[in-house]
Amino acid sequence: MRTPSELHPKDRLLHTASRLFYAEGIHAVGVERLINEAQVTRATFYRHYPAKDDLVAAYLTTTAEGIREAVAAAREGKPPHEALHAVMAVLGDATLEDGFRGCQFLNAAAEYPDRAHPVRAVIDDQRSWLFGVLRDLAADLDHPDPDHAARLLVLLHDGAFQSAELDNPTVVRETLRRTINQLFPAHEA
C-alpha cells in the first residue's frame, strides 16, 4: 500500500480530507489546511475540486463505497439471519476502531442542515441504500412489515453509532445484537 505522499494529488487531497473531516468536522477544516497537509497547490486543489463541497461529496461517496463493499462481502452466501447479523456487525465494527467519532453521514448531516444542499444528496443516497439493504434482509426473514423493520434497524444503526461514541462500544454492540434477535425472534441464533 502506498503512503499518502505517494498518492496522486487528487487522491492525496481526498485522503487528507477524509482523515481531517472525520476527526475534526467538515466546517472546522479550511481549504488552506487541506492544501498544506495534502502538500498540493491551490491550483491543484481547485482543478480537482472546484469547491470544498465537491471534496466533501467525494469524501462521503468514497466512504459509502467502502461501506457498500464491506456489506456486500458480509452478506455473500449467508442465510438471511446470519446475513443480517453480519451486516449489522460490519456497521458496528466501526464503533470499535481507534479514533471513532460517530457516523460520517450523521456528522455531515449535522453540518449541512439544508436538505437541498448537494452534500445532502450524497447522504440521502447512502441512507436510502442502507434502508434498502435492511428492508431486503427483513423481507428475506419473512418479517410481516419489512419497511417498518428496516426503519427500526436504521434507527438502531444511528443510535448505536451515536451511543458508541458516548458509552461503552462493546455494550452497545451487544445491545444491538440482542435487539436484532428480539425483532426477529423466530430466527434467534
Per-residue model confidence (pLDDT) at position 97: 85
Domain that holds residue 75: 53-187
Residue 166, burial from CB neighbour count under 10 angstroms (0-12, 13-18, 19+): exposed
| 82 and 136 belong to one structural domain | yes
| 14 and 32 belong to one structural domain | yes
| 122 and 89 belong to one structural domain | yes
What is the average pLDDT score of the chain? 92
Would the pTM count as exceeding 0.85? yes
Question: What's the rounded mean pLDDT across residues 125-132?
Answer: 98
Nearest to 137 by CA among 103, 170, 89: 89
Residue-wise pLDDT for 59-99, tens only, equals 999 999 999 999 999 999 999 999 999 998 888 888 888 88
**Residue 44 or residue 188, greater confidence:** 44
Per-residue model confidence (pLDDT) at position 7: 83
Helix axes 52-75, 104-111, angle to 10 degrees: 150
**Least confident among 35-44, 119-128, 161-170:** 161-170
Where are the alpha helices (H) located in 2-117, listed in sequence order? Answer: 9-24, 31-38, 42-48, 52-75, 80-93, 104-111
How many alpha carbons lie under 13 Å from residue 129 in its C-beta half-sphere?
16
| 57 and 38 belong to one structural domain | no
| 76 and 159 belong to one structural domain | yes
Question: What's the rounded mean pLDDT across residues 3-13?
Answer: 83
Residue-wise pLDDT for 94-103, tens only, equals 888 888 899 9
Number of C-beta neighbours around residue 2 at 10 A: 10
Instruction: Give the integer Cα–Cα distance in Å for 161 and 120.
Output: 19
| 67 and 38 belong to one structural domain | no
pLDDT over 50 at 48, yes or no: yes
CATH number at residue 173: 1.10.357.10
Per-residue model confidence (pLDDT) at position 189: 47
| 27 and 76 belong to one structural domain | no
- Hey, what's the cell of 122? 450524497
Confidence band, pLDDT 50/70/90 cuts, at residue 168: confident
| 63 and 143 belong to one structural domain | yes
